[in-house]
Amino acid sequence: MISVIIPVYNEEAVIIQVIDDINSVLIKQKIKYEIIIVNDGSNDRTLELLNSYDDIILINRDINRGYGFSIKEGVQKSTGDLILIIDADGSYPVNEILTLINESSSYDMVIGERSGENVSIGLFNRFGKLLLRLLTYSLTSDWIKDINSGLRIFKKELFLKYWSIIPDGFSLTTTLTVASLLEKHKIKFIPIDYYERIGKSKIRPLQDFFNFVILVFRIVSFFKPLRFYLPISIFFLIAAIFRAIRDILLFNSIETAAVLLFIVAIQTLFFGLLADLIVNKHKNY
């Protein structure tokens, strides 16, 4: 049983096409599935169009609560062991759903990686994704081309495992990806196309990018504290050494600044070790 969850916010121009395409693809394969639409406070004709369907599970909300909140509501309502999520803006190729489903039996999560031949992503967003990719690699040692793809299928139990740390906004997918990689779950990335979305985008590139960066640091510090605190400690230690050498050369003594930098380095290291001890103890239980 596969639960297809689609969060929707003001998608009157394309929602009918997305639902019909998903039905067409899955019915032909005789796959047991359900479609759960979460209308996240749309103020256009989206709800009116959705009410014309009898074969979907519709969750309607008058107030917009965010992408992650909608996915979580859909998961709560779902009856399938596998959860497939896809955006309602027509940007993801529906035909690739079958490829993800076919691989899902061998993996905890299969992600549609937006690196196919036809990918419509703006230059600013490409640059932001590159920086995010480099940051993620430095913290997780995994080179991820697409950390926050909105087309993926995963085991419901995997999602429930991280329920308490999954945010209500767009960063749901980022959280799920990074947490799963850090905890060594079996993940597969499949290259897919990514089309220009139909309708107005809800993404705020600059603000969302910085939110993603902060989120990655938070997740890593939560699961692998030493990977977060050790580089900071080393940075302050090197700074302390250089400052001490400078002080000795200039004043023939070690000044207060060098001592303070050394203390910060040691405190950061011990804080990271303590956090790592707590995390590992929690895992053992």
The confidence score (pLDDT) of residue 138 equals 67
Q: Which amino acid is at 203?
A: I
Residues 216 and 230 in one domain: no
**1-9 mean pLDDT:** 94
Indicate the pLDDT class of residue 285, thresholds 50, 70 and 90.
Answer: very low
Task: Decide which of 223, 251, 269 is a domain's last residue.
Answer: 223
% the chain with pLDDT above 90:
49
284 has pLDDT over 60: no
Residues 27 and 126 in one domain: yes
Residues 219 and 239 in one domain: no
The confidence score (pLDDT) of residue 183 equals 85
pLDDT one-digit tens code per residue, 70-118: 999 999 999 999 999 999 988 999 999 999 999 999 999 999 998 888 8
Least confident of 1-5, 188-192, 204-208: 204-208
**43-59 mean pLDDT:** 92
Per DSSP bridges, beta strands 33-40 and 82-85 are unpaired
Distance of CA 281 to the CA centre of its chain: 26
Indicate the pLDDT class of residue 272, thresholds 50, 70 and 90.
Answer: confident
Indicate the pLDDT class of residue 214, thresholds 50, 70 and 90.
Answer: confident
**5-16 mean pLDDT:** 93
Task: Decide which of 196, 223, 250 is a domain's last residue.
Answer: 223
Of residues 188 and 115, more confidence is placed in 188
Region label for 277, one of left (φ > 0), alpha (ψ between -120 and 50) or beta (otherwise): alpha
pLDDT one-digit tens code per residue, 147-168: 889 999 999 999 999 998 888 8
Residues 111 and 184 in one domain: yes
Structure tokens at 282: 């929690």
Other Cβ atoms within 10 Å of 45 Cβ, number:
13
Residues 14 and 136 in one domain: yes
Q: What's the chain's average pLDDT?
A: 86
Please state the φ and ψ torsions of residue 115, each to the nearest 5 degrees.
-140, 25
Residues 197 and 119 in one domain: yes
Query: Domains in the chain: how many in total?
Result: 2
- Contacts for 40 with CB less than 8 Å, ≥ 6 apart: 7, 8, 9, 61, 64, 65, 66, 67, 69, 70
Cβ–Cβ under 8 Å, residues 4 and 36: yes
Rounded Cα distance between 17 and 243, Å, is 64
The confidence score (pLDDT) of residue 108 equals 96
DSSP one-letter string for the chain: -EEEEEEESS-TTTHHHHHHHHHHHHHHTT--EEEEEEEES--SSHHHHHTT-SSSEEEEESS---HHHHHHHHHHH---SEEEE--SSS-S-GGGHHHHHHHGGG-SEEEEEEEEEEE---HHHHHHHHHHHHHHHHHHS---S-SS-S-EEEEHHHHHHTGGG--SSTTHHHHHHHHHHHTT--EEEEEEEEPPPSS-----HHHHHHHHHHHHHHHHHHH-HHHHHHHHHHHHHHHHHHHHHHHHHHHSS--HHHHHHHHHHHHHHHHHHHHHHHHHHHHH-
Of residues 169 and 140, more confidence is placed in 169
Name which of 127, 7, 25, 137 is nearest 74 in CA terms: 7
Residues 72 and 148 in one domain: yes
Residues 190 and 50 in one domain: yes
Residues 111 and 234 in one domain: no
Terminal CA-to-CA distance of the chain, rounded, Å? Answer: 31
The confidence score (pLDDT) of residue 209 equals 65
Least confident of 54-58, 84-88, 143-147, 196-200: 196-200
Residues 126 and 180 in one domain: yes
Q: Which amino acid is at 172?
A: L
Residues 91 and 229 in one domain: no
Q: Which range marks the domain in which residue 256 is found?
A: 225-284
Residues 259 and 138 in one domain: no
Distance of CA 127 to the CA centre of its chain: 18
Rounded Cα distance between 217 and 138, Å, is 11
